[in-house]
Chains A and B, each alone.
Chain A
Amino acid sequence: MHQFKFIFLGALGTFFSAWLGLVLLPVVHYGAEAKALEPGAPLPERELIRRGEQVYAANGCVYCHTQQVRSPSYGNDHLRFWGERRSVAADYENDTIAFLGTMRTGPDLSNVGQRLSSAAWHYQHLYEPLSTSPGSVMPAHRFLFERKPVENGVVDPEAVALDAEGNRVDAEGYQRVPSAEARALVAYLLSLQRTVTPRPEAEEAPSLR
């Protein structure tokens, strides 16, 4: 048995040294810099954004959309208008989960709130992606919308278009309005303006440009 003790020791030593470098270090470094949630935004909106973050997580948006802008030396993200500067770690300090992502089946969302600032557009896109983005393979998120009857002939201003003609009421007199989850998700998407704030650490040595 005593021989195996040393295997454990070796395994543990290797593990903890790497743990120090790759896990503890970032926690010490970035954990200490965590700040209050969106200092500017009022409290109810902050809560809505946090709930939207949960909806984003629950429905796995991260598997097709990144939220990181690479520097001009590392691609042409800026030429696709995904962000004017590269992302830095501090850009995620207000988040609960940093959805960096690893796949660009869809476009980067770091600054989607700045690029597409209309809530109505996002509702329409979530309900039927093809209606706003031809050729898209994004799944329709109709389950984020409620089927409600039109009352007194007044159509909800947030009801989405159901066909190419822009009709917002179906044959049976029902409309589709965003659920609480959809509202939270869109509030989160609109809050994504990560590289709008200038950050000194995003500046690179001239040789890298």
Chain B
Amino acid sequence: MSVEVSPVTLQEEEKERSRKARAAMDAAAAGPVIHYFASALFWLILGSVLAMLASIKLHSPALLDQADWLTFGRVRPAHLTTVAYGWSTMACIGVGLWLMSRLCRASMRHTGWLHLSALLLNLGNLAGVIGILGGRSTSIEWLEYPIEAGCLIAAGFLPVMWAFVDMARRRQPGHIYVSQWYLMAAVFWFPLLYITVQALMIWSPVAAPAQPPMNWWYAHNVLGLWFTPVCLAAAYYLIPKLIGKPIHSYYLSLVGFWSLAFFYAWNGMHHLVGGPYPAWMIGLSIVASFMMVVPVIAVAVNHHFTAFKDIGLVRTSPTFRFVVFATFSYTAVSLQGSSMAFRSLNKVTHFTHYTIGHSHLGMYAFVTMLLFGAIYYILPRVTGREWPSAWLIRVHFWCCGLGVLYYVMALSIGGVFQGMWLLDESVPFHAIVERMLPYLQQRSYAGMAMTVGHLAFITSFIWLLLRSPQPASRPTLLARAI
């Protein structure tokens, strides 16, 4: 018998080591990641119910109008905050933790703290929703949660920051991948933003005239410096992994990261264009909005050029399908956002549903669809179980994808009309309210489709968790394009 080891065997051993290392990292990450995803899904479903209520109330105000806790002005902020801090934030943390572990090639440690963190975030969201529906909303957009909810969420974020730093300390030498740049920056940006603004607007509020700039600086930056970086990090990871080819240009991806970091923090005041503030303040933010085109083009070129190396994969890969949808939405929503700072367009769309359409193109068609894609990729890896039904995945994709496109279309068209009618003083105000009803009804139909998609997803999710692990099983692929 020969003791000589052939190069092929060595290569095989190395591959086996890599596979085992990945499996070990995924096993260590499983607990907190599943905890975060399950919590996020709970808030997604609650957020969808609240969204449907708010949407229907806007064209049929008589629905459930007896109880104070179900009035539109409470249900609407409850929807926004549960989907922002419950669904998106918790899903982003789950995705971010797993990505960080995989990219640093470091196993998650002391996961008890991360379970505590998920618990605190859940309690914070619960306290927040109860507070808002109970009549203690602050009515500061994106910061409606009362004081105790904000404290719980801020506290819940500390173990997450610690876990990111801990994994970064143990990272393997060499190039920092672009996703790590985004993740590391985002995990510090969000708590800083959140705690600063909580302190200045909730814990010890500054004078009222100084509040709106802070409000919109926060509300815009939480999108650009928290949800966006985490989701871009996930896209930069998933696209190359799925197609097996590196990103189109690593250089461009770094240009994208740094220009986002520098320009984004200046955004936000464009929400106050035409408002009661000095021109230089608004002007600065309009300039920053235009500057955002730079990182967007850098990211768009990278994502789309890379994805198009093997675009046919959308036919079979659930993750790829969601991620490609989301990256196209990112390009669209970012360019739309820059254009909305233009004075001529802003004049029409500023106080209309066009803005709501824009925010759903960002928070749903980009952030939420990307998080769906990431969960489709991550969950089988951390649980060792495959998705039970390709049919449910297809229902999920088409309901949510077509739903959100229809949603954005209805509100964008309706919003432009609303803005033009508002600018035409010959149209009486009550006529505008009446003419907007059909668009708002279409929005409710779109929302229903999205909710059906969410129900399909949570069914898949629970079904997967209830299955027994299937070692070395084949991934669940979509057999046909539709």
Contacts and interface: CB of A to CB of B under 8 A. Distances in A.
Direct A–B touching in the complex (beta carbon < 8 Å)? Answer: yes
A143 B73 CA distance: 13
Interface stretch (B61-69, B311-319, B450-458): B61-69
Main secondary structure of the interface of B (DSSP, over half): helix
A97 B139 CA distance: 9
B423 interface: yes
Nearest to B77: A60
Nearest to B440: A137
A23 B217 contact: yes
B213 A23 contact: yes
A3 B422 contact: no
Nearest to B63: A139
Interface centre among B136, B169, B261 (most CB of A within 10 A): B261
Contact of A136 (B168, B210, B211, B433): B433
A202 to B, nearest CB: 9
A62 to B, nearest CB: 5
A70 interface: yes
Interface stretch (A39-47, A75-83, A162-170): A75-83
A58 B425 contact: no
A144 B285 CA distance: 40
Interface in B104-144: 135-141
B206 A15 contact: no
B475 interface: no
A93 B266 contact: no
Contacts of A198: none
Contacts of A118: none
A96 B210 CA distance: 11
A58 B137 contact: yes
A141 B68 CA distance: 8
A59 B425 contact: no
A98 B73 contact: no
B234 to A, nearest CB: 18
A30 B347 contact: no
Interface centre among B196, B211, B423 (most CB of A within 10 A): B211
Contacts of B425: 76, 79-80
A90 B208 CA distance: 9
A12 B189 CA distance: 8
Interface string B256-290: 00000110011011011011110001001100000
Given A3-B176, A95-B208, A99-B139, A75 B214 contact: no
Contacts of B68: 59, 143-144
A11 B185 contact: yes
A100 B423 contact: no
B71 A139 contact: yes
Contacts of B284: 21
B262 A14 contact: yes
Contacts of B210: 26-27, 29-31, 89
A26 B422 contact: no
Q: Which 9 A-B pairs have CB atoms at the shortest separation, nearest pair first? A: A60-B73, A18-B265, A57-B139, A95-B208, A143-B68, A34-B207, A30-B209, A104-B351, A79-B425
17 contacts: A7-B184, A11-B189, A19-B265, A22-B285, A57-B138, A59-B68, A59-B71, A80-B429, A89-B277, A93-B207, A102-B271, A103-B351, A135-B433, A135-B434, A136-B430, A137-B58, A143-B68
Given A12-B192, A93-B208, 14 more contacts: A4-B169, A12-B188, A22-B213, A22-B214, A30-B210, A57-B138, A61-B73, A74-B347, A93-B209, A101-B351, A135-B430, A137-B61, A137-B433, A143-B71
